[in-house]
Each structure stands twice: as structure tokens, then as C-alpha cells.
Chains A and B, each alone.
Chain A
Amino acid sequence: MTFLIQQTLLYAVPLMIVALAGVFAERSGIINLALEGIMIFGAFVGVLFIRIMQGMDVFQAAFAAKNWMALQGMELLAMAVAALLGAVFSLLLSFASVNLRADQTIGGTALNLMAPALVLFLIRIIANQNTLQMTEGDAASWFMIKKTTLGFDRKADLGFLGNTLLHQVYLATYVCIILFIVLSILLYKTRFGLRLRSCGENPQAADSLGINVYRMRYAGTTISGALAGMGGFVYALTTANCASTGDVAGFGFLALAVMIFGNWKPGNIAGAAILFGLFKCVAASYASIDINGDGVYMLATLGISSHVYRMLPYIITLVVLAFTSKKSRVPKAEGIPYDKGQR
């Protein structure tokens, strides 16, 4: 069970945070199809930052001395840098769709094409191959929190909860969960959140009450870009061993599906992310032998192909779209450029 919960969380958390990124953009009225692209960019930036930091003596010494506080700090710093540059990258989208009133779908598609191209171009120049990895060691030895890092004995039994939540986990996972909660409150319980959402529903009315629609839309897409960039790095760190390969295996689009399935509401999105994360986990560890006594092996004996689990999130989303299109909470003004002069 521990294995199942941990693996599901590894997949669910990036999905959740990137889906929330989608919510921030769409609630402000901008369709952010570029989630995948921003994730790819964020993953690259984060991994590059880690590589540069690894070259510094301070962190080399910290690693040698097993100073895990410094290493966790480096992880958090990398997340922040990925978020910052993700936000900068997303400015391309907000500039095109807010200032130039361009087609947001095409703008997003452009970013989705640009990110892997730019990233692979640079990775090939830097590393002379198609993968950018850490210069030494791996994510598990540098960043993973284990029993021993927390000062427990290797053999100590921390109980079910302790084993699940404190052993072989990443700090990034918990930071993302806390951020998810904080930002959901920001979106629903603060004046800023209300204003942001009003710009996605009826920008003309919002403008008439003195809200700067352009600024709100910039804010929405920038927060979106920051979250997606960070989510991309968290994905690379926790599931791809801190390597950037110019793709995130369609996670950005899966996050889009999570957002739709979650009906643009944070609570539902968390649930949807866990469900889709479970599917991903089942598909990924499908054929593994039953060492952990988890349900995954039992699923394998059912004879349902792992391809079905990979496909299910998209099929479910399509079906949900089909059946709930009437009561969908899709922001009413999303995708429509705001024009002050229009009534």
C-alpha cells in the first residue's frame, strides 16, 4: 500500500499543480494550451540550475558532509528558478493574447512547439546528447528524503504513516501540496482571487467596476506559467531522475484533462489528479512483480492491458466533456480577447 500511495503521489502532484496553473490562466480568461511547453521549459531550467549548482564547491561540500538541509535548499531554489523562468516564458503568451489580442490557441501551440525545440537545441549543445542529466549522482542520492536523512535508524519502523510520508519521499511533493492549498484559497477567498475570476467570466462588468482586466489577465497567466514551470521541474525531479529530455510525456496535456475533469475547481482537480495519477502508476508499474503486496499486481492478473490504463484518462475526460457540457464551469469569457471598446 505504501508503494502504491507514494507512486500515485509522485504522478498526481505535478498533475495537480499544473492543472491549477491551467485554472489560474483560464479563470482570468486566457486559454493556456502551452502548459506542456512551459513544463518542458521549466524542467530544463531546473535541471540546468542543479547542474550549475553541482559545480559549486559549497554544494559539493554539503553533499560530501551529508548536509541534507543545504541539499533540500538547493532543490527548493531550483523549483523557484524553474517557476521564475516558467513565468517569464509564459509572458510570450500573455503579451500575444492580452496586448496583441492574438488567437490564444495558436499562441499556446506556438509555445508548445518552441519549448521542446529550444530545449533540445540547447541540450544537444551542452551535453552532446538528447538528455540533460545531473553532472554526478542521481536525484535519489542527492534529494530524496530517507529514514536516515531524518536521523532515524535504517531499521527503524515508523509505522504505516511514517513509512509512507517520511521515507523515500521528496520535499518538492509536499511543497507543491501546500502551494496548491494556499493558491486555491487565494483564488477563492481573497479579493484578488474574486477579481481574477471575474475577468474570466465577464471582463466588461469587471472593467466597469474599476478592475484592470489586462493586469488581471497578465497576473493569471504569469502565475500559471510559474506553476507550470515549477510543475515541470518537479515532474523531472521525481519521476525522471532529474533529467530533461525535451518532453514531459504529454503531462501538460494530461493536466489539461485533469483541469477539465475537475471542472475548473481546485477540490475536484485534486481528486481528478489522484485518480489519473493512480492510472499512470498502474500503467507504469504494471508488470512488476508483487514485492510490495499492493493491488497493482492483482490488476495485472485481471488481464487488462496496461495500454488501457494509459488511455483511460483521455477517454474519461472526453466522456465527461460530452456529458457535462451543459453544466460545465468553463469560464465564460475564456479565449476571447478583451477589448475595452466592445459592449
Chain B
Amino acid sequence: MKERHTLLEKEGTKSVLASLISIIIGLLVGSILILVVGAFSDNLGLGSAWEGIRLVFFGIFSTGRNAAGALTWGFNPQSIGNMLFRATPLILTGLSVAVAFKTGLFNIGAPGQYLMGTLATLAIALGIPSTALPGPLLWLLAFLGGILAGALWGCIPGLVKAFLNINEVLACIMTNWIAANLVTWFFDVNKMFQNTVENTKTSYIYKTAYGRTFVDGAWTYVDGNGVSTAKLGLDKLFPGSQVNAGILIAILFAILVYILMTKTTLGYELKACGANRHAARYAGVNDKRNIVLSMAIAGALSGAGAALYYLSGNTEFFWSTYQALPATGFNGIPVALLAANNPIAVIFTGIFMSMLNIVGLQLTKLTAYNEYITDVIISVIVYLSAFSLVIKMLLTSRRKHREAAAPAAVPPAEPAAPPVEPAESLTESAPPAEMPPVEAPPAEAPDAAAEKGGEQA
């Protein structure tokens, strides 16, 4: 019993280490790209590259430039507040992908579920006259509508996976694009939702702060009559930012998902289906019901993310979206992968991802570089997490070597240092050689990858 516990502990620390290494490599690749572009471009130069690299790592603490044109650093309440605001939908789509992963499903359908959630939320919040219902009730109705729409949309790939054994990845891709077209169609036909008050903007839907009001014998939209998420004083804490209570709701959802997955029978059954669908069925678990349920929960979480983002009252939706899917949906994948599908860890990786987002904006604002560098960093992180197991194997073999080579050895990377300590003491007490020291890790990795493969795929 004790031995299994220590193993589990080691697994956890290794996941954290693997994620940290992925992040560091991602940031380094971003820095190298900035350096190369800066060095070879005529109008950028190495000085601006150095500024860019510093911003990639510490952009969240950037406060702009001083009179002399040098970058200044410090606590930037606006950046931090916006980071928390943008983390809200990312945490929820991350949870969505993580829940599906636990059941052995790759939910690449989060963008579609997010879009359907957006559709339902906006249709309810803007469709019901603001005088018909008290504000909080309308808000709740729109929120629940978004969740329901996401859940229903998530059900489709779940149903075809469970009953017709169709690869959920393909079904999700198809439903994504169907959703994108449906949403565009809906807002194209229902012209009343299209923002005509602020006529500088085209193809945008009203913010939910606009309420449907009966004025002078006609229905129009009036700013301030609509609904928006309560701020709960967070706007005082982070002045000038968009932050609202949505982040707290997202954190609450993460805790609820954690309880669901670890403390309830349903969560156990879901995980059993993910570990081995056939064994679970043999043990009396209704695997088909669980697959559908898992996708429905995943969809509901994505829908909730969309609802919280658009109910804030200060965000607007670009409706002609049939050629592109929302990035927030896809970014749920790196959020979940970095968190090793742990719902609590998703909170932190979601905030990290939105921090990168803010860093990108600072980079665009302050330098000649642009925000897409952070998307490159994210994609590198996703790429690395595809074989995070190999990284874990590398860590293991490295630690073995260090034990053999005694005290002179250096830790693998500075920021990763703190978690190494507990792992160190554990390895000493654990029975040796359940992982043979490997000279060429990629060659040995397959066994572990094959074992773990079922869980990830």
C-alpha cells in the first residue's frame, strides 16, 4: 500500500515537471523566434528583440514605457484583471477537454460547443425583453441556456461514438463546422440582434449590457438595460480591467468537477470507461451511457465558458464566423494537457494561458512584434505534451544518473527545482530499478507510451 502511494506521488511530481519543461521549451522557442526575426529584419534589430524576449517572460508585469522609452515594470492591475477575465472561459473549456480525456475521449469539439453556448446565451439575454424579468433571473436563464446548448451539442459526438462507434475526433470536427455555420445562419436571419447602435462596427452582436426595451412603440436596444455579470468589488481591486465574478464561478466549477471525478460513483465510472471501456462494461458499468454523459458534461462546461464570457456585458460577438472557429475552444486543449487533466490544476494552467494572451497584447502594444508569438508558444507546448511521457522518461533516467553520480550534479532546470526535492527523497526510499536507466530514452519510451496510450487516445 505504501509503495503504491509513493509511486502515485512520483507520477504527480513528474507530471508537474513535464509541464514545466514544456512551458520553458515553449517560451524558449518563442524567444528564439523573436531573436531570429529581430536579427534578420532591417527595422527591428537585436535591442528590440531583447525587449521582446523580456516581455514574453515577464509581460504580465509590464507597465509600459517611461519618458526615455525604456520598458517599465511593476504591478499592473489592468493586466492582472484582464488576465483573470480571459482565464474564465479558458478554465471552463480546459475542464471540458479534461473531463472528456478522463473518459478516454479527445474533445476537439469544444469550439463548436462554445459557439452553441454563445448562441443560446445571447439569444436569451438579448431576446427576452429586459422589463419582463428581473436582471439576475434573466442572467441565470441565459447562463443555464448556454450550458444546456453546449451539453446538447456535446451529446452528438458522444451518441455517435457510443452507439455507432464513430471516432469522436472526426464527429467533433464535423459538428464544429456545423455549429459555426448554424450560428452564422441564426444571426444572419435574426437581424434584430445585430448591433446597429454603435454603427462603426459591422457584423457584431449587441453586448448583453444592452437590454431589449419597448420605446415609442418599437423594440430597440438600450445600453444599461441589459444584464452583466456582477463585479463583486473585483473591479475596485483591478481598476480599468474587465474582471468580474465569472472567474469565481469558473473556479467553483473546477472544484465541482474535481469532486465529481474523484469523490462520486459517476466520476469513478467515467474514469473506468476511460481506462478500459471493455473492462468497465464487464464490471457492470454502462459504458454507452457514460460516454454520452461525459461528452454532455464536457459540452456543458464549454457552453458555460461561452456564457460567462459573453454575459460580462462588455464583450461582443463577431457573428459572421462560418470560416473560423473560436480560439478559446481550441486553447482548452493545451490548458487540459498542461494540467495533466487534473481539474484543480486546470485553474492554474488556464490562468497561465490567459497570461500568455495578455503578454501577447503587451508585445503588440509596446514592440514591433505581435501577439501571434504567444500562439506559437502555445502550439509548441501542445506539441510537446503529445509526448510528455517521453519527457517523463527522460526525467526518470536523469534522476537515476544523478543518484549514481552523487552530490555534484546540477538540477535539470532552475524553475523546476522546488518540486524535485520531494521526488528526490521518494526515489531514495522507493525500491530501485522499476525503471531501468536508459541511455537512449526515445528507444525505450514505447513501452510506457503504449501502456499510457489507451488513456490518452
Interface of chain B, helix or strand or loop or mixed? helix
Are A117 and B375 in contact, CB atoms less than 8 angstroms apart? yes
**B147 → A minimal CB distance (Å):** 24
Contacts of A305 in B (CB 8 A): 185, 188-189
Contacts of B449 in A (CB 8 A): 100-102, 337
A105 touching B379 in the complex, CB below 8 Å, given contacts A318-B174, A322-B164: no
* Contact residue among A112, A317, A341 (Cβ-Cβ distance under 8 Å from B446): A341
Contacts of A250 in B (CB 8 A): 177, 180, 323-325
* Bound-complex Cα distance A256 to B385 (A): 24
**A45 → B minimal CB distance (Å):** 16
A113 touching B178 in the complex, CB below 8 Å, given contacts A101-B387, A121-B33: no
Are A106 and B171 in contact, CB atoms less than 8 angstroms apart? no
Are B386 and A337 in contact, CB atoms less than 8 angstroms apart? no
* Contact residue among B181, B182, B453 (Cβ-Cβ distance under 8 Å from A103): B453
Are B379 and A322 in contact, CB atoms less than 8 angstroms apart? no
Are A311 and B182 in contact, CB atoms less than 8 angstroms apart? yes
Is A39 on the interface with B (CB-CB < 8 A)? Answer: no
**B398 → A minimal CB distance (Å):** 17
* Contact residue among A311, A325, A339 (Cβ-Cβ distance under 8 Å from B166): A325
Contacts of A310 in B (CB 8 A): 181, 322
Is A96 on the interface with B (CB-CB < 8 A)? Answer: yes
Are A322 and B166 in contact, CB atoms less than 8 angstroms apart? yes
Contacts of B182 in A (CB 8 A): 307, 311
A256 touching B369 in the complex, CB below 8 Å, given contacts A121-B376, A335-B457: no
Chain A interface size, as a band, is 35 or more
Is B203 on the interface with A (CB-CB < 8 A)? Answer: no
Is A111 on the interface with B (CB-CB < 8 A)? Answer: yes
Are B376 and A111 in contact, CB atoms less than 8 angstroms apart? no
Please report which residues of chain A, range 305-343, place their CB below 8 angstroms from some CB of chain B when the two chains form the complex: 305, 307-308, 310-311, 314-315, 317-318, 321-322, 325, 335-337, 339, 341-342
Interface of chain A, helix or strand or loop or mixed? helix
Of B169, B180, B184, B386, chain A has the most CB atoms within 10 Å of the CB of B386
Is A61 on the interface with B (CB-CB < 8 A)? Answer: no
Contacts of A120 in B (CB 8 A): 370, 372, 375
A113 touching B457 in the complex, CB below 8 Å, given contacts A102-B387, A121-B370, A318-B175: no
Contacts of A315 in B (CB 8 A): 174, 178
Are A99 and B442 in contact, CB atoms less than 8 angstroms apart? yes
Mask, B246-277, CB within 8 Å of A = 1, is 00000000000000000000000000000000
* Bound-complex Cα distance A256 to B173 (A): 9
Of A121, A311, A336, chain B has the most CB atoms within 10 Å of the CB of A121
Closest residue of B by beta carbon distance from A313? B177
**B171 → A minimal CB distance (Å):** 6
**B329 → A minimal CB distance (Å):** 12
Mask, B369-388, CB within 8 Å of A = 1, is 11011011011101101110
* Bound-complex Cα distance A124 to B117 (A): 32
How many inter-chain residue pairs (CB < 8 Å) link A and B?
168
Is A204 on the interface with B (CB-CB < 8 A)? Answer: no
A96 touching B370 in the complex, CB below 8 Å, given contacts A311-B182, A337-B453: no
Contacts of A325 in B (CB 8 A): 164-166
* Contact residue among A107, A121, A253 (Cβ-Cβ distance under 8 Å from B386): A107
* Bound-complex Cα distance A307 to B385 (A): 37
Is B190 on the interface with A (CB-CB < 8 A)? Answer: no
Contacts of A335 in B (CB 8 A): 457
Please report which residues of chain B, range 315-359, place their CB below 8 angstroms from some CB of chain A when the two chains form the complex: 322-325, 330, 333-334, 337
Closest residue of B by beta carbon distance from A37? B379
Is B41 on the interface with A (CB-CB < 8 A)? Answer: yes
* Contact residue among B160, B185, B379, B390 (Cβ-Cβ distance under 8 Å from A110): B379
**B53 → A minimal CB distance (Å):** 14
Contacts of B390 in A (CB 8 A): 100, 102
Are A110 and B164 in contact, CB atoms less than 8 angstroms apart? no
Closest residue of B by beta carbon distance from A248? B323
Is A64 on the interface with B (CB-CB < 8 A)? Answer: no
Contacts of B188 in A (CB 8 A): 305, 307
Closest residue of B by beta carbon distance from A128? B368
* Contact residue among B106, B160, B368 (Cβ-Cβ distance under 8 Å from A318): B160
Are B386 and A102 in contact, CB atoms less than 8 angstroms apart? yes
Please report which residues of chain A, range 165-193, place their CB below 8 angstroms from some CB of chain B when the two chains form the complex: none
Are A92 and B383 in contact, CB atoms less than 8 angstroms apart? yes
Is B417 on the interface with A (CB-CB < 8 A)? Answer: no
**A98 → B minimal CB distance (Å):** 11
Are B387 and A100 in contact, CB atoms less than 8 angstroms apart? yes
* Bound-complex Cα distance A124 to B374 (A): 14
* Bound-complex Cα distance A247 to B322 (A): 12
Closest residue of A by beta carbon distance from B331? A113
Please report which residues of chain A, range 220-270, place their CB below 8 angstroms from some CB of chain B when the two chains form the complex: 247, 249-250, 253-254, 256-257, 260
Pick 25 A–B contacts, CB within 8 A, sort by A: A100-B442, A100-B449, A102-B387, A103-B456, A106-B386, A109-B108, A111-B379, A114-B376, A114-B380, A121-B375, A125-B369, A250-B177, A254-B177, A256-B173, A260-B170, A305-B185, A305-B189, A308-B185, A310-B181, A318-B160, A318-B171, A318-B175, A325-B164, A336-B453, A337-B446
